[in-house]
Structure 1
C-alpha cells in the first residue's frame, strides 16, 4: 500500500472514531468541565481525541507495519498507556499512581522488545558512552519524562497536536532518509491520526466536528510513542547503525523538553512539588502578557518547528554529536532566560 493509502485510511478511521465516540463520551461523563482554577473553556468538552488517535494508530499498524516482537510490544504498551489515560481522564488518578503505572509500562517495553537506552553516543567527545545496566533506569526515566513533557504543554487548543506533529514528521523524515521504513510508517501513522483531532479541536474545515479535547489519554500516548521512536532511532540495530544521534533526539522534542525542565527546576527551587499545577508554562506566560490564544499557538508552534529544523539541519550536515549537544544546552539556557524575562514582565503587568 502506498503512503497515500496510509494517509487516507488512517485519517478516515481516526475521524470516524471522533464522530462515533463523542456522544458516548457525553453520555458517560468523559468530558472536561471548566473550573475557576486552570480550565476556562466554555461547556463540557468530550475527551475523545486521544482515543481517536489510538484507533487510527491500531488500524494503521495492523495494516501497514510488519508484525514482529517490537510492533506487538509497542501495541501492548500503548494499549496499557491508553487504558491508564482513560482512567485518569475519568477519575483524576493520583500523580504517584500515574508515575508507578508509567514505570511498569516502561519496564514491560524493555522486557518485551529488548529495547532500552544502552548508549548515548559520543555525546561528550570522549568516545561512546555505554550505560550498561544503568540504561534501564534511564529508559524508565525517559518514558516518564516524555509522557509528562507532552502532557504539560497541553494547555491551549492545538498546541500539543501541532507540536507533536512537528516531532513525528521530523522523526519520520530521518527514518525515511535512513531506509528504516517500519519506524517511518509508525511516525507517519501517528502524524496522520493527529490530523482529524486537530480539525476537531481547532474547528478547521472541511469537516465540521464537535469540539473535542485530547485528554491525558492522548498526551500519554503521544509521549510514549515519541520516546519509543527516539529509542528505535538512536540505539544501534543488529548491524550497529543508528538513524540519528541521541543529541539530535533532544532537538526533535526541544520545546516540550525545555519547557518541562524549566518549570520543574523552578518548582524545586521554590520548594514546591514538581507535580504541582501552576500557570508558569510558556503558553500561560504569553497569555498573561497580552497575547491571544491564536497568537500564542502561532508563536510556540513556530518555535517548536524552528528548534526541530535546527536539529535536523545539524544531523543532516553531519555535525559532531558533541556540538549538537552543546548547542542544545546553550539553546536551553537562552530559552530559560527569555521565558524568565517574560514571566517577570507578566507579574509586573
Structure 2
C-alpha cells in the first residue's frame, strides 16, 4: 500500500513542481500576467498559467500508470514487488481506461479554454456552455454517472451533470487568494483517497490512485503558490481541479455493499461543504444586489473573512481548517452504522457552516459600525460655533 501511495503521489508531485517552475519563466514572455485590480487582493503583477503544471502532473502520471498496468497485465508472471492485492485488479483498471482517457481529454479541453480565458478573456456564457457540453459528454458517452439509488437512470444522469458543472465553478470561484483553491483541492483529494483506499471493505485502487495523483499535482503547484505566490493557477487550473474531483467522486462509488450503509453517499457533500457554501453564498449575495452571478467581485468566503480583520494568510488557513473539519465528518460516516449517526454527523457539518455564516454577518456589521464611528463629523459653519 505504501509503495502504491508514494508512487502515485510523488510522481505527480515532481512533474507538477517542475512544470510549474517552467511556467513561471514562460508566462511573462507570453504576456500571461495577472495584474492588480479593484476586485483582486494581490498588489504585484504575478504570472498566470500555473494550472498547466497541475494538468501536466495529473495527465502524465495517469498516462504512465496506464502504460505500467498494460505492461504488467501482459506479463503472465507478475513481478515479486507487485503487491498480491493489486494483481487481480489489473484487468479491471484496463477496462476502465476508456473512462480515464475521456476524463483526461475533457480536463485538457477545459484547461485550454481556461488558459485562453486568462489570456484573452471569454464570456461566462461561452464558458458555461463548454462546461455543460463536456459534462453531458462525460455522463452520456463516458458512462460517468451516479445512480443515487433511483430506478430512473435520467435522474442520476441529470444530477451528475449538475454536480460536475457546480464543482467546476466552485473551485473557480475559490481561486481568489494564494493557496486557497489548490489547498482545498489537496485536502479534498486526500480525504477522498483515504476513503477509497482505507475506509471501504475493498480498496478502490483505480480511483484512489487517481486521487493521489491529483493530490500530488496540487502539492507540487503549492510549492510555487504558497503565500506570497510566485505564480497563479488561473482558470486552467481551478476548472481542471473541479472537473476531476467531480468525476472521481462519481467513479469512486462511495457506497459499499458489504457495509450496507447508504448514508455514506453524503461523504462527498461533507468533504466539499466549504466550496459548495462559498459558491452558494456568493451567488445569493450577487442576486440580492441585482448583479449577474458570474460577475467577479470580492464577496467570497475568504474576502468576507478579511473584512473581519483577518490577514489573507489567516483567512486561507481558516478556510483550510474548516474544510478539514467537514472532511473528518465525512470519514466518520463510515464509522456509524445507521441514519441516526449519519444525521448527527450531518448536523455537525451544518452547524459549523451556520457558525461561519453568523460570524461573517457579525463581522461585517461590526466593521461597518466602526467605520461609521471613526468618521469625523462635518465641521460646523463658522457662525454656528460658540
Q: What TM-score results when the alignment is normalised by the length of structure 2?
A: 0.79
Match of 1:109 in 2: 138
Say if 2:115 is the partner of 1:86: yes
Say if 2:39 is the partner of 1:20: no
Match of 1:148 in 2: 169
> Cα offset for 1:316?
3.0
Answer yes or no: is the 8 Å Cα contact 1:234–1:245 preserved in 2. Answer: no
Matched residue SS, 1:133: helix
Answer yes or no: is the 8 Å Cα contact 1:69–1:112 preserved in 2. Answer: no
Q: Which runs of 5+ in 1 are unaligned?
A: 120-127, 205-209
> Cα offset for 1:297?
1.8
Matched residue SS, 1:113: coil
Answer yes or no: is the 8 Å Cα contact 1:56–1:193 preserved in 2. Answer: yes
Q: Which runs of 5+ in 2 are unaligned?
A: 67-92, 371-386
Name which of structure 1's ranges 105-114 and 235-244 shifts more when overlaid on structure 2: 235-244
* Bigger Rg, structure 1 or 2: 2
Match of 1:314 in 2: 333
Say if 2:96 is the partner of 1:75: no
Distance 1:150 1:131, change over 3 A: farther
1:249-300 Cα deviation digits (max 9, x unpaired) = 1001011111211221232233332222222222112212221112112222
Q: In structure 1, what is the Cα distance between the partners aligned to 2:187 and 2:155?
A: 30
Match of 1:264 in 2: 283
> Cα offset for 1:148?
1.1
Q: In structure 1, what is the Cα distance between the partners aligned to 2:260 and 2:335?
A: 15
Distance 1:217 1:315, change over 3 A: same
Q: In structure 2, what is the Cα distance between the partners aligned to 1:299 and 1:144?
A: 26
Match of 2:251 in 1: 232
Match of 1:49 in 2: 50
Distance 1:87 1:150, change over 3 A: same
Distance 1:129 1:136, change over 3 A: closer
Question: Aligned residues, how many?
Answer: 335
1:135-171 Cα deviation digits (max 9, x unpaired) = 3222222111101111112121111121111100000
Answer yes or no: is the 8 Å Cα contact 2:182–2:218 preserved in 1. Answer: yes
Match of 2:13 in 1: 11
Distance 1:238 1:55, change over 3 A: farther
Q: How does 1:264-283 map to 2 (within 5 A)?
A: 264-283=283-302
Q: In structure 2, what is the Cα distance between the partners aligned to 1:236 and 1:41?
A: 42
Q: What TM-score results when the alignment is normalised by the length of structure 1?
A: 0.87
Answer yes or no: is the 8 Å Cα contact 2:41–2:177 preserved in 1. Answer: no
Distance 1:305 1:225, change over 3 A: same
Matched residue SS, 1:276: coil
> Cα offset for 1:337?
3.1
Say if 2:201 is the partner of 1:184: no
Distance 1:159 1:81, change over 3 A: same
> Cα offset for 1:53?
0.6
Q: How does 1:291-310 map to 2 (within 5 A)?
A: 291-310=310-329
1:168-196 Cα deviation digits (max 9, x unpaired) = 00000011023100100011001111112
Measured on the aligned residues, the alpha-carbon RMSD in Å equals 2.6
Q: How does 1:114-263 map to 2 (within 5 A)?
A: 114-119=143-148, 128-130=149-151, 132-177=153-198, 178=200, 179-202=203-226, 211-234=230-253, 245-263=264-282
Answer yes or no: is the 8 Å Cα contact 1:82–1:221 preserved in 2. Answer: yes
Answer yes or no: is the 8 Å Cα contact 2:190–2:211 preserved in 1. Answer: yes
Q: In structure 2, what is the Cα distance between the partners aligned to 1:230 and 1:346?
A: 39
Say if 2:34 is the partner of 1:32: yes
Answer yes or no: is the 8 Å Cα contact 2:20–2:54 preserved in 1. Answer: no
Q: In structure 1, what is the Cα distance between the partners aligned to 2:366 and 2:296?
A: 21
